[in-house]
Amino acid sequence: MTRTTVLAPKRISGNNIVSPIGFKATGIHCGIKHKKNDLALLVSEIPANVAGVFTTNAIQAAPLVVTKEAMLKVGKMQAIVVNSGNANACTGQQGLIDARLMQQTAAEKLGISSNLVGVASTGIIGEMMKMEPIVKGIRKLEPSAELEGSILFSQAILTTDTVTKNTAYSTVIDGKKIIIAGTAKGSGMIDPNMATMLGFMTTDANIESIHLQAALKTVTDLTFNAITVDGDTSTNDMVLIMANGMAGNDSLTPAHPDWELFIETLQAVSQDLAKMIAKDGEGATKLIEVEVTGAISNVEARRIAKTVVGSPLVKIAIFGCDANWGRIIAAVGYSGATLDPNAIKIKIGPTIVVENGEPVQFSEAELLVYLKQPEVKIIVDLYQGSGQGVAWGCDLTYDYVQINATYRS
């Protein structure tokens, strides 16, 4: 077989979760939060193949348990009901009962099997759910294929986020236009494998769940698992993607000539969302990107990149516009990766600050101008091999402390 198209993924206007054929969404305020939207519903016109990745925290919230159970039973999903303001985590058997009640109520609302409904929650850990307003709210949800429904959905899943996070890309496979779209939330307690983030993606591509799972796992390692805000891994994190096949392309498998194009499109959506989460870190003023080259493997390169971008001292230096490259090279050193200290090269933006493991004279004034920009890039070259990796994070500010010191008050 030959590749049927050479078209690269194209970001589409609207950037909303209902852009693919056959999806609807909405969100409302039901009463978990004081004023803001706090209950959301995403629906596929027909049962969709599904894939998911979940937090690696040993303590997992009730909604994750219920969602994974549903996925195992039928391998498909038609709807996802989400609440914000309460994580339904560390809530014991009652938490499971409440998550299943959300699932069942949504299923009854839509006239589908409860095994086709996923459940997600985000918010405060350790508080029991107030189920009366949630049940009443689910019964009021009226999902729409219009842009407004997508906006309401993306608003209702937020906690400390300052902005909604949406993106969508299109490409052509087997002569059929396919779209992959996504929305996410995440601002604090971010250090995936996974973090306090929820990500939902939709596509009208035709792909079986087993191959969709493989694609999502591959892309997640390069995107969602390459971000960090504060080094904390949450109890509720998940990324789900539903593929309803309504675009009408031939079923995608690794043997399909356009498999890599599908992966490229999925990665574009996931990377957009991951970077939006990093940029919107609690109290953040800057997005930090760390690129590592010359490592002995891609895995080691990603480990170094994430170690550097996750270093509190590096993050604070970037916040203070301080070209303190010593903090960067120290983080490289304790990353656990194979390296030669006498071969390391470091650049902050366009400026070389370390060459062959030694300091290089540079203009502090010029670098200060660069460090005041809203996005800062650090490049580390180890000269040990061909491994490459990228990670994203944000600066650590006074506001981060303030937000998290008063989160429950």
Residue 251 is assigned to a structural domain of this protein? yes
Residue 191 has pLDDT above 90, yes or no: no
62 CB burial (10 A radius; 0-12, 13-18, 19+): buried
pTM here? Answer: 0.82
Looking at residue 191, the DSSP 8-state letter turns out to be -
Domain final residue, candidates 221, 239, 274: 274
pLDDT mean over 382-405: 81
The answer to whether residues 250 and 104 belong to one domain is: yes
Rounded alpha-carbon distances, angstroms, from residue 189 to 58, 95, 266, 270, 386? 15, 21, 24, 19, 32
Find where tokens 């803001």 sit. 36
Task: Count H helices and E strands in the chain, helices first.
Answer: 11, 15
> Where among 222, 252, 274 does a domain terminate?
274
d(Cα 226, Cα 310) in Å, to the nearest integer? 10
In terms of domains, do 213 and 305 share one?
A: no
Residues 188, 301 share a domain: no
| Judgement on whether residues 264 and 395 belong to the same structural domain of the protein | no
Q: Which one is predicted more confidently, 35 or 45?
A: 45
Distances (CA, A) of 47 to 31, 44, 71, 200: 30, 7, 12, 16
* DSSP percent split of the chain into helix, strand, coil, nearest 5: 35, 30, 40
| Residues 310 and 259 reside in one and the same domain | no
State whether 206 and 319 are in the same domain: no
pLDDT confidence band for 167 (50 / 70 / 90): very high
Domain stops at, among 224, 253, 274: 274
Within 8 A by CB and 6+ apart from 239, the residues are 52, 53, 184, 194, 197, 198, 199, 200, 201, 216, 220, 224, 270
Output the six-digit token pair for 178: 């396919």
Q: What is the pLDDT of residue 30?
A: 97
Do 106 and 54 share a structural domain? yes
How confident is the prediction for the chain on average, in pLDDT? 90
Domain that holds residue 157: 10-274
Segment 7-42, tens digit of pLDDT:
689 998 776 999 999 999 999 999 999 889 999 999
Q: Are residues 19 and 109 in the same domain?
A: yes
181 token code pair = 């779209």
Alpha helices in 190-324 (DSSP H): 209-222, 259-279, 298-310, 312-319
Q: Residue 120: inside a domain, yes or no?
A: yes
Q: Is residue 279 part of a domain?
A: no
Q: Are residue 105 and residue 217 in the same domain, yes or no?
A: yes
**Do both 241 and 295 map to the same domain?**
no
Q: What share of the chain in percent tops pLDDT 70?
A: 90
Amino acid in position 244? N
Q: So which residues are the catalytic ones?
A: 196
Residue 1 lies in a domain: no
User: For residue 244, what is the domain's CATH number?
Assistant: 3.60.70.12
> Mean per-residue pLDDT for 54-68?
88
Residue 350 within any structural domain of the chain: yes
Domain total in the chain: 2
Longest dimension (CA), the chain: 69
The neighbour count for residue 297, using CB atoms within 10 Å, is: 16
- CATH number of the domain at 336, please: 3.10.20.340
> In the predicted model, what is the mean pLDDT of residues 134-138?
98
